[in-house]
Amino acid sequence: MLKIENIKKTFNPGTANEVKALQGITIEVEERSFVCVLGTNGSGKSTALNAVAGSFMVDEGTITLDGVNITRWSEHKRARYIGRVFQNPFSGTAPDMSIQENLALALKRGQKRGFGWGLPRHVVEEFKKMVTPLNMGLEERLENPIGKLSGGQRQALTLLMSTAIKPKLLLLDEHTAALDPKTANKVIDLTQQVIARDKLTTLMVTHSMQQAVNLGDRIIMMHQGKVAYDFKGEDKKRLKVNDLLKLFDELRRKDNIDPAVTTLLEQYYV
Amino acid sequence: MSLLIGSVIIGLILALLALGLFISFRIFNFPDITAEGSFTFGAATGAALIVAGVNPLLACLVAFLAGMVAGAVTGMIHTRFKINPLLAGILVMTALYSVNLHVMGKSNMPLLNETTVFTWIENFSVWISGADAKTNLIGWEVAVKDLWLLLFCLVIIVFFCYLLWWFFKTNIGTAMRATGDNDQMIRALGVNTKSMIVAGVALSNGFIALAGAMLAQYQGFADVQMGIGMMVWGLASVIIGEAIINDNSLGFVIAGAVIGSVLFRLLVAIALRWGLNPNDLKIITALFVFIALILPGLMKNKKKFTFKRKAHA
């Protein structure tokens, strides 16, 4: 379904601020698979997700979605196939516009927007049915601006919006990281429901190992812009939080000897 | 009284300018100073075409399109070459100064002996109720002609307000509003925000140029300097409108811009009548907008301050 082949990205190349964010990543995601991407800070997990979403163009490598090479596609063109929820609850909704207007915008994701009425009456009824299962009382507040809602309510709405038209790929970028634990659980439950209902192919970046263990059918662990571990099927099912912690420790231990020593060793032996 | 009616008419014409600035400044958050050039551009284009014998309505339409082109250039400079919006506007505004001189062939173009949209209305008034007809309006004696002009401008403005309101409620208009509100979000929903900005700034400058063309016809001349200070003028109108209406829904904000424009023009007329030096007009306008811009922040600070004191006690 999604094929990421050897993508590389360096930010601010040739300056003091040079960051080699992605150093050759290859991931293939099967249809209807739910992949959790874990990693330390700065491991490039969010960057990898943004590369797929098209927030920037990769320096090298190709990205293929459902057989279409989208490597050079702009962000808005990719949005035809990709639904996204961001880490920041403010990113996914237009605060000054009403809930129903936001939902109406989402219903046109990737389609041509013409001079048709933006908010037809029959659609509003549909929206009521969409938000009622959230149990947040939003069905009574469809005309209120989204800016008045809490972060959890916004994320729940963003999730509904990104899947209002079934996307070929759903990208979740630590979408519960900015929420309190209780709200985060609610949003995660909703995420699971939506993904199961629509049988979505999903890539979810998370910092929470518990989430990664509980959710999905595959865990990819990233480190320093590369894929460090990749667990699928039975391996993934057997994986516990403690195992993941051990792996992180291992990576960290490697780090401590890593940069200086490797260059030294390279100088002597390569 | 005819002075007041004249002010209201000019206020209504300049409401088109206010609507233009509302689009760029409020919807897109784009401080678009192209306005000063495109206002004159519209006036110059309209005037030159009318002098050349073109139908004045057609001249207005061409002026609108000319403004759109100017705005599109600004939008393009900003989106394609990633130049700061203010600077992009300044570049186009400066370039338009030369363009305007070329369009008119001189720095001032009189229209007093030409047939304009407003001469049509005056002729219509003469045809209906004879030349120099007067009527009684709440105890004042006013020329019937002036009332027809007022009605005409009112109809035009209501029409354009409705058009704008309708447009911003369509799918594409809603996407434009979302572009100004949260561009990241609307890009993730598949909208090309760059073209939205170009189209929006173009639309904004179309309205502004139309205001210029109408004003030139009403006052009977186009002048290469007439755009100076127009951006701040339009902003003042939008801000007054917001303060009076105090409602964020689209229809009210649009209506507010019109009311703000008329009120501001009336205030200025009254101040001038009371002996305000016309040379001071621009500095007072600028100060007014400055105060209006910082006032919300100041009030918030004040609230925090009193709250803290209470908490301390």
Same domain, B240 and B306: no
Neighbour-count burial of A204, counting CB atoms closer than 10 A to its CB (0-12 exposed, 13-18 middle, 19+ buried): buried
Look at strands B140-143 and B134-137 and give their pairing: antiparallel
d(CA A94, CA B311): 35
Both B302 and B168 in one domain: the answer is no
pLDDT value at residue A96: 92
Both B90 and B227 in a single domain? yes
Q: How many angstroms separate the Cα of B126 from the Cα of each of B56, B117, B146?
A: 19, 15, 11
Q: Are residues B179 and B284 in the same domain?
A: no
On the question of pLDDT at B137 being above 80, the answer is: no
Q: Answer yes or no: is pLDDT of B303 > 70.
A: no
- Taking contacts as CB-CB distances below 8 angstroms, the residues of chain A near B170 are 114-118
DSSP state of A79: T
Best to test chain A binding among B185, B191, B192, B197 (most A CBs inside 10 Å): B185
* pLDDT value of residue B288: 83
Q: Are residues B133 and B187 in the same domain?
A: yes
pLDDT number for residue B243: 84
Contact check, Cβ <8 Å, A145/B193:
no
Same-domain status, B191 and B288: no
**pLDDT of B148 above 80:** yes
B83 φ/ψ angles, rounded to the nearest 5 degrees: -95, 140
Residue B103, pLDDT score: 95
Rounded-to-integer distance, Cα A249 and Cα A229, Å: 13
Residue B15 class from Cβ within 10 Å (0-12 exposed, 13-18 middle, 19+ buried)? Answer: buried
Q: Which residue has tokens 């195992």? A: A243
ipTM score of complex: 0.87
Q: Which of residues 153-192 of A touch B (CB under 8 A)?
A: 161-162
Give the model's pLDDT for residue A263.
66
B136 inside 8 A of chain A by CB? no
Angle at which helices B250-273 and B230-245 cross, to 10°: 120
Task: Check whether residue B168 and residue B242 sit in a common domain.
Answer: yes
Instruction: Tell whether B186 and B307 lie within a shared domain.
Output: no
B156 plus B67 within the same structural domain: yes
Considering only alpha carbons, which residue of chain A is nearest residue B250? A97
Q: How far is A230 from chain B (nearest CA, A)?
A: 28
Closest chain A residue by Cα to residue B185: A92
CA distance A16 to B159: 57
- Domain boundaries, position B194: 2-276
- Check whether residue B265 and residue B284 sit in a common domain: no
Greater pLDDT, B312 or A10: A10
d(CA B166, CA B272) in angstroms, rounded, equals 37
Number of folded domains that form chain B: 2
Domains of chain A, by residue range, sit at 2-239
- Structure-block tokens of residue B260: 């703000």
Looking at residue A259, its pLDDT comes to 61
pLDDT at B292: 78
**What are the residue ranges in chain A where pLDDT is below 70?**
257-270
Structure tokens at B269: 């007329």
Query: For B35-69, what is each residue's pLDDT tens digit?
Result: 999 999 999 999 999 999 999 999 999 999 999 99
Please report residues of B whose CB lies closer than 8 A to that of A118: 169-171, 173-174
Q: Which residue of B has its CA nearest to A116?
A: B170
Task: Check pLDDT > 90 for residue B99.
Answer: yes
Instruction: Please give the model's pTM, rounded to 2 decimal places.
Output: 0.89
Contact, B226 vs B219, CB < 8 A? Answer: no
CA angle A177, A178, A182 (to 5 degrees): 80
A111 to B185: CB separation less than 8 angstroms, yes or no? no
Q: Which helix (H) or strand (E) holds A20?
A: strand A19-29
Interface test with B, best of A77, A81, A82, A113 (most B CBs within 10 A): A113
Distance CA B247, CA B245 (A): 6
The pLDDT score that the predictor gives to residue A262 is: 62
- The C-alpha atoms of residue B89 and residue A56 are separated, in whole angstroms, by 27
* CATH of the structural domain A2-239, one choice from 3.90.550.10, 3.30.590.10, 3.40.50.300, 1.10.3470.10: 3.40.50.300
Gap between the Cα atoms of B282 and B288, Å rounded: 10
Quick one: tokens of A247? 């792996």
* Confidence at B133, pLDDT banded by 50, 70, 90: confident
A73, A75, A79, A81 alpha-carbon torsion, rounded to 10°: 30
Q: How confident is the model at residue B9 (pLDDT cuts 50, 70, 90)?
A: very high
Residue B313: predicted pLDDT? 42
pLDDT for position A233: 86
pLDDT of residue A264: 67
Q: Is residue B42 within 8 Å of residue B48, measured between CB atoms?
A: no
**Mean pLDDT, rounded, of chain B:** 90
pLDDT in tens, B217-254: 999 999 999 999 899 989 989 988 888 887 888 999 99
Does B150 share its domain with B269?
yes
- B161 pLDDT above the threshold of 80: yes
Residue A16 burial (C-beta neighbours within 10 Å; 0-12, 13-18, 19+): exposed
**Residues A146 and A94 sit within 8 Å (Cβ to Cβ):** yes
Per-residue model confidence (pLDDT) at position A260: 63
Of A41-55, B59-73, B194-208, B286-300, least confident by mean pLDDT is B286-300
Residues B73 and B219 in one domain: yes
Q: Is B279 on the interface with A (CB under 8 A)?
A: no
